[in-house]
Structure 1
Amino acid sequence: MVWILEIGILAVVAVALRRVLRLGKNSLPKQAAPRFRRPANNPLCSTLVSEIDAHTSILGVALNDAIDELASGRAEIARCMLGVFSSERKRLIELVVDLQNLSLKYLPTVQYPVEARTLNPESFRSEPVCEFLKRHTDLEQFVFRSKLRFQLQLRLLRRVTALLNESFEEVMSDPGTDAAAFDGALAKLDLYFHDLDLLSKETLLGFSAELASLPNDMVEDITAEISALTSRNTVLSPAASAVQQ
Structure 2
Amino acid sequence: MGWLLGGVILLGVGLGLRRLLSQAAPSPRARGMVPLSPDREAIYRPVALEAETQAAILGIALNDAFDERDAQHAEMAWRLVQLSAGEWDRLGELVTGLLEVLSKRLATARTVVPARTPGSDLFKSRVVIDHVRLHELLDQLVFSSRRRFQLQIRLLRGAVTTLSAEFRRTYRYGEQTRDCSTEVWTRLDLYFHDLDLVAKQALLALRALMACVPAEAVEVLAGDLRALLQRRTQVSSVSVDE
Q: State the TM-score, normalizing by the size of structure 1.
A: 0.76
Q: Which has the higher helix share?
A: 2
Q: Which has the larger radius of gyration?
A: 1
CA distance in 2, matches of 1:178, 1:214: 50
Instruction: Read off the aligned partner of 2:81 and give its amino acid letter.
Output: L
CA distance in 1, matches of 2:227, 2:74: 38
* RMSD of equivalent CA atoms: 2.1
Instruction: Read off the aligned partner of 2:215 and give its amino acid letter.
Output: N
Higher deviation after alignment, 90-99 or 66-75: 66-75
SS in structure 1 at match of 2:110? coil
Counterpart of 1:75? 74
CA distance in 2, matches of 1:178, 1:55: 26
Contact 1:116 1:150 in 2 (8 A): yes
CA distance in 1, matches of 2:114, 2:152: 10
Instruction: Read off the aligned partner of 2:47 and give its amino acid letter.
Output: L
CA distance in 2, matches of 1:140, 1:218: 28
Contact 1:51 1:234 in 2 (8 A): no
Aligned residues: 199
Counterpart of 1:40? 36
Counterpart of 2:190? 191
CA distance in 1, matches of 2:161, 2:227: 22
After superposition, the C-alpha distances for 1:55-81 in whole angstroms (9 at most, x for unaligned) are 111111111110111211222322221
Contact 2:135 2:151 in 1 (8 A): no
Contact 1:115 1:209 in 2 (8 A): yes
SS in structure 2 at match of 1:152? helix
CA distance in 1, matches of 2:194, 2:80: 20
Q: State the TM-score, normalizing by the size of structure 2.
A: 0.76
Contact 2:112 2:145 in 1 (8 A): yes
Counterpart of 1:227? 226
Greater relative CO (CA pairs within 8 A, separation 6+):
1
CA distance in 1, matches of 2:82, 2:180: 19
CA distance in 2, matches of 1:207, 1:171: 31
Instruction: Read off the aligned partner of 1:40 and give its amino acid letter.
Output: L
Instruction: Read off the aligned partner of 2:186 and give its amino acid letter.
Output: A
Once the two structures are TM-superposed, the CA of residue 179 in structure 1 deviates from its matched residue by 4.3
CA distance in 2, matches of 1:234, 1:171: 28
Contact 2:78 2:178 in 1 (8 A): no
CA distance in 2, matches of 1:224, 1:76: 44
Counterpart of 1:180? 180
Counterpart of 1:108? 107
CA distance in 2, matches of 1:230, 1:66: 28
CA distance in 2, matches of 1:234, 1:186: 31
Contact 1:39 1:211 in 2 (8 A): no
CA distance in 1, matches of 2:142, 2:96: 24
Once the two structures are TM-superposed, the CA of residue 178 in structure 1 deviates from its matched residue by 3.8
Instruction: Read off the aligned partner of 2:43 and give its amino acid letter.
Output: L
Higher deviation after alignment, 170-179 or 104-113: 170-179
CA distance in 2, matches of 1:69, 1:186: 12
SS in structure 2 at match of 1:180? coil
